[in-house]
Structure 1
Amino acid sequence: MSPSRSAAVGALLLGATFVTGCASESHAADVETQTIRLIIPDGNLRPLGTSCAGAGPYRFAHQEAPFAIEDGNGNEVARGVLPAGTSEKIMDVDFGAVKRQPTMCVMLLKVDAVRKPDEYLMVIDGRAALPIKKSDNVGIAGEVVVS
């Protein structure tokens, strides 16, 4: 990595890394782990609360798929692999006692030191960059909706 790129990455991330489960050994005192919620609105029929990955046209969004986080200039500031997701209701409809219903797959990514996630973009497996938007949910720093 070039010295100028190292300085840019260091300035943005304070030398920390983006991970999905393990933390860097050296963190600045003010660095905190944040959660990014990746939403895959595939509408696949599955039981609620089960392990999932993107279905149909979203099959590229699956556990172990590579992703990168980029700044607004397209510079990669972090990378990792997606974790397994969990199925959640995609619509507020009572389907009664059915075992399977339309769902979305949601993956929670742990982020070290990305102070304002909504200033970054997420790229999954080399596809078009998706904006990370600020979340109003407690404990979730930002959200990405796969489209």
Structure 2
Amino acid sequence: MKAVIEFENVDVETGEVMRSQATALASMTEQGMKLTYVEDVSGDGHKTRCTMIFSDNRLRVTRSGELNSDFVYEHGLTHHTKYATGYGSIPVTLQTKHFLHTAEGIDYEAAVLAEEFSLRLALQYTMEMGNELPMERKMKVHVHNLAD
């Protein structure tokens, strides 16, 4: 089933807001709702495959291609990972401070996705990349079915 993903990312310190949208393939797995899409992360035409898996208390985002990452967001979780670029790997630490999730038409236990569904996620986290100062971020995600 096709879905639309709407993103809003906010840099808490500067107030900068970045919005984007993607069309994804949606399915249910044992881990939760899985969304797969392709994006041009660096803006130079190189494609990166992105997979998002939502459960009722966790979001996992993996990217493979030009850029490679595996980020996990869960309330109270500190996640250590690497962000791999064409220039090398950068250590990343994510600390999720707030995680609010609502879903309609999605049954995680039965792994059922209704014909019409909606998922909203709001989270706040701190990200440390390499030797940079920690960055405070907020992210909102809205996922819904793509009407034919």
TM-score range, shorter chain: under 0.3
Which structure dedicates a bigger proportion of its chain to helix? 1
TM score, norm. by length of structure 2: 0.25
- Structure of higher RCO (CA pairs closer than 8 Å, 6+ residues apart): 1
Name the larger-Rg structure.
1
TM score, norm. by length of structure 1: 0.25
